């Protein structure tokens, strides 16, 4: 028996890894392959039985997973960033949430004949979108910066707010006893509700302040910070539930918000750890919950579940956008795309699962349908919007054109020179470097920068790649260049990732990065980083000229003896980099840029 359970756990881990990799490769939210895999492993093949696998640990696992998810989401919610948001985003997470909640709740009540209590709860569960499904979709859809920023921030902010709404509705259901109560009972319900809110807030603030102060005073060594934070989150959840049942989710959300807004508390490493843990927990949770679903539950929902999905997609979201954008400067076309993109994800599935289990024990038989209904909405919104949003954005004229911008690894002399030349021709650039001096100089030259490692987890969350489609690895660290090339090949395509040569005479091959690990070699094998750095240090500059019938490419080369060719732009504005063994032959109307010395020669 134990060997069978071990095999199931190993199978679960293997499927998690395969689903996450497939989602990364296909640039899709991981939810789809995870849910499909869970359904295949559970009701279709019977290879995975969650009840047998986890037994009495199933409910605690779901509860604690949701607690970690909400804490991680709350860690990203900073008040200073909220104050700087556009009015549209504030409306989306306030009045927009209320409008969506009411529309979904009323539809669920009359279409599926759910009780008002369950209808209001499902409405609260279904208002959230979440960055884990929105951001991967934005990378594929590539809407303009305005739409992209609105959707990104809506997803970040709405997660904890939507989860809090669901918790409060759930508390109201339990305290009301599931029936219309007399006035005295409603008073008791209100008291329980207040105790839940106060208990969660007080516990969250207390432990958040305590842990934040310990981190601020360096009382916890760095290698223990993530572990102790996790244990404190679990303690906060458990203690709050002991004080007032079901206040734990509110408590961990408040704890995360409090720590995120404490001045001087460094939470980046903690957030990285929580992200990694969340990926594992959520992946396992989705597969397990999907495996637990029975096909007869979908039968019970019937065609009504499809109608709920259609109302969420075609009624609730458009009305939410219409209400939230009143008085804004958004165009009608931008509003249409905003009204189309709102995929449901992690919080909707996890919160529906935990509340369903508790409500079933409380005597709500229909509560078992909350999870399959949530999954139908998740699969429907993610599938439909992933398949159609890019086409719709292009048709509406609110999509970014083919990304022509450049991500530059490094902000040194070479990167700044090339970056400035690209900017002068109208191309977007983003220079990344961990060296503050390089970043400071680049900013003084009005070049957009990212101070940090371009392959870090922080970069995965914060690096804005909208409009960027090529990468130039120009760092003085060739290992970093190779790593960046490997990391961004899938993002931009191998032919759009370029690296400089580091070849030196007598340089043993065992000390060189394999060519297959890098991208396309820029300029030529003999044009090394050290050579270009020295040339630019001697005063060489990148200059551009337009070719004409009387001034051909051959004339250009003759006029700039030994100049290093950098890039060329054709009459349609398409740019190409000069590369090793390249066969580019610019003609009339092209713009050619090259690195030239003061006398048009480079020795």
**Those residues with Cβ within 8 angstroms of residue 289's Cβ, 6 or more apart along the chain or in another chain:** 38, 50, 62, 349, 353, 371, 375
Q: Which residues pair with 565 in a beta bridge?
A: 594
| Cβ atoms 39, 84 nearer than 8 A | no
The per-residue pLDDT for range 377-410, each reduced to its tens digit, is 988 888 888 889 888 998 998 887 667 788 998 8
Whether residue 434 is found in the same domain as residue 490? yes
Shared domain check, 107 and 20: yes
Residue 602 belongs to some domain of the structure:
no
Using H for helix, E for strand and C for coil, what is the string for 370-399? Answer: HHHHHHHHHHHHHHHHHHHHHHHHHHHCCE
User: Whole-angstrom Cα distance, residue 365 to residue 359?
Assistant: 8
Instruction: Establish if 601 belongs to a structural domain.
Output: no
State which of 329, 361, 396 marks the end of a domain.
396
Domain assignment present for 166: yes
pLDDT in tens, 24-68: 777 666 777 887 888 888 888 888 877 777 777 777 887 788 788
Task: Give the other-Cβ count within 10 Å of 231's Cβ.
Answer: 12
d(CA 436, CA 452): 9
Integer Cα distance of 282 and 291 in angstroms: 14
Domain co-membership, 500 together with 571: yes
For residue 524, what is the domain's CATH number? 3.40.50.720
Considering 396, 424, 452, which residue would you say is the last residue of a domain?
396
455 vs 24, 109, 132, 337, 479, CA distance in Å? Answer: 15, 48, 19, 31, 12
Query: Taking the mean position of all CA atoms in its chain, how far away is CA 348?
Result: 16
Q: So what's the pLDDT on residue 314?
A: 95
Rg (CA), the chain: 28
Residue 568 domain-assigned (yes or no): yes
CA distance 143 to 333: 11
CATH of the domain at 351: 1.20.1530.20
CA dist., res. 542 & res. 422, Å (int): 10
Mention every residue, 6+ apart, whose C-beta is less than 8 A from residue 171: 192, 193, 196, 246, 247
What is the dihedral angle through the alpha carbons of 521, 527, 529, 535, rounded to the nearest 10 degrees? -150
Q: What is the pLDDT of residue 602?
A: 47
Host domain of residue 539: 405-596
Rounded Cα distance between 399 and 382, Å, is 19
For residues 534 and 436, membership in a common domain is answered with: yes
> Considering only 23-27, 61-65, 321-325, 556-560, which range has the smallest mean pLDDT?
23-27
Tokens encoding 116: 């008002």
How much of the chain is helix, strand and coil, in % rounded to 5? Answer: 65, 10, 25
**What's the mean per-residue pLDDT of the chain?**
81
pLDDT at residue 107 in the model: 94
CA distance 563 to 536: 12
Picking from 396, 426, 442, the residue at the C-terminal end of a domain is 396
To 10 degrees, the CA torsion angle through 228, 230, 233, 234?
A: -100
Dist CA 252 CA 71 (whole Å): 5
pLDDT in tens, 495-545: 888 888 765 554 545 555 555 556 788 887 778 888 888 888 888 888 888
Q: Summarize the confidence of residues 479-503 as an average pLDDT.
A: 80
> Is 341 in the same domain as 425?
no
**Displacement of CA 539 from its chain's centroid (Å):** 42
- Count of domains forming the chain: 2
For position 273, what pLDDT does the model report?
66
Is there a single domain that holds both residue 261 and residue 346? yes
How many angstroms separate the CA atoms of 590 and 426, rounded? Answer: 15
Both structure tokens of 315: 């009624």
pLDDT value at residue 321: 93
Q: What is the pLDDT of residue 599?
A: 57
Query: Is 498 inside a domain boundary?
Result: yes
Q: Are residues 420 and 510 in the same domain?
A: yes
Quick one: 267 and 301 in the same domain?
yes
Q: For residues 434 and 325, state if they share a domain.
A: no
Give the 3-state secondary structure of residue 542: strand
Q: Are residues 87 and 200 in the same domain?
A: yes
Same-domain status, 281 and 151 = yes
Of the pLDDT bands very low, low, confident and very high (cuts 50, 70, 90), residue 269 is low
CA distance 306 to 311: 9
Under the banding of pLDDT at 50, 70 and 90, the label for residue 100 is very high
- Indicate whether 391 and 409 sit together in one domain: no
CA distance 272 to 214: 19
Summarize pLDDT for 157-192 with one digit per residue, the tens.
787 677 778 877 887 777 666 444 444 445 665 776
225: enclosing H helix or E strand: helix 222-243
Q: Bridge-partner residues for 575, per DSSP? A: 569
């Amino acid at each position: 028996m134990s060997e069978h359970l071990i095999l199931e756990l190993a199978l679960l881990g293997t499927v998690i890894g395969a689903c996450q990799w497939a989602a990364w490769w296909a640039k899709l939210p991981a939810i789809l392959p995870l849910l499909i895999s869970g359904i295949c492993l559970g009701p279709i093949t019977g290879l995975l039985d969650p009840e047998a696998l986890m037994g009495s640990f199933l409910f605690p696992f779901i509860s604690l997973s949701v607690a970690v998810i909400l804490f991680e989401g709350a860690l990203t919610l900073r008040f200073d960033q909220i104050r700087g948001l556009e009015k549209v985003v504030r409306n989306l997470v306030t009045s927009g949430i209320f409008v969506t909640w009411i529309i979904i709740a009323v539809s669920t009540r009359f279409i599926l004949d759910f009780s008002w209590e369950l209808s209001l709860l499902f409405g609260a569960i279904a208002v959230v979108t979440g960055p884990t499904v929105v951001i991967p979709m934005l990378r594929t859809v590539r809407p303009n910066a305005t739409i992209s920023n609105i959707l990104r921030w809506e997803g970040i902010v709405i997660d904890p707010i939507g989860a809090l709404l669901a918790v409060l509705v759930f508390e109201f259901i339990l305290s009301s006893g599931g029936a219309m109560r007399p006035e005295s009972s409603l008073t008791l319900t209100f008291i329980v509700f207040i105790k839940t809110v106060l208990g969660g807030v007080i516990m969250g603030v207390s432990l958040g302040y305590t842990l934040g102060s310990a981190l601020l005073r360096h009382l916890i060594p760095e290698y223990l910070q993530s572990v102790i934070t996790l244990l404190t989150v679990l303690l906060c959840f458990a203690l709050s539930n002991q004080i007032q049942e079901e206040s734990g989710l509110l408590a961990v959300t408040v704890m995360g918000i409090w720590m995120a807004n404490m001045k001087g508390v460094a939470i980046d490493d903690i957030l990285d750890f929580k992200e990694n843990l969340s990926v594992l927990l959520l992946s396992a949770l989705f597969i397990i919950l999907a495996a637990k679903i029975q096909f007869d539950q979908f039968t019970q929902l019937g065609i009504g579940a499809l109608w709920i999905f259609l109302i969420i997609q075609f009624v609730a979201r458009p009305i939410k956008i219409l209400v939230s954008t009143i008085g804004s400067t958004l165009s009608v076309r931008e509003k249409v795309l905003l009204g189309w993109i709102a995929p449901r994800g992690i919080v909707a599935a996890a919160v529906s699962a935990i509340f369903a289990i508790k409500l079933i024990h409380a005597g709500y038989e229909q509560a078992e349908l909350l999870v399959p209904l949530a999954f139908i909405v998740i699969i429907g919104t993610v599938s439909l919007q992933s398949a159609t949003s890019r086409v719709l954005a292009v048709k509406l004229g609110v999509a970014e054109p083919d990304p022509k911008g450049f991500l530059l690894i490094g902000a040194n002399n070479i990167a700044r020179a090339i970056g400035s030349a690209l900017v002068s021709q109208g191309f977007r650039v983003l220079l990344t470097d961990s060296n503050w001096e390089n970043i400071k100089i680049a900013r003084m030259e009005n070049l957009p920068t990212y101070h940090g490692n371009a392959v870090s987890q922080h970069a995965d969350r914060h690096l804005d790649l909208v409009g960027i489609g090529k990468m130039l690895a120009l760092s003085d660290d060739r290992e970093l260049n190779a790593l960046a090339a490997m990391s961004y090949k899938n993002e931009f395509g191998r032919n759009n990732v370029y690296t400089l040569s580091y070849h030196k005479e007598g340089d043993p091959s065992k000390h060189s990065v394999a060519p297959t690990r890098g991208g396309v070699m820029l300029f030529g094998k003999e044009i090394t980083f050290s050579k270009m750095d020295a040339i630019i240090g001697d005063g060489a500059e990148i200059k551009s000229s337009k070719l004409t019938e009387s001034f051909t490419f051959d004339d250009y080369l003759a006029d700039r003896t030994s100049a290093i060719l950098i890039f060329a732009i054709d009459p349609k504005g398409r740019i190409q980099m000069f590369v090793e063994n390249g066969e580019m032959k610019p003609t009339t109307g092209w713009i050619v840029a090259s690195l030239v010395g003061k006398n048009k020669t480079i020795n």
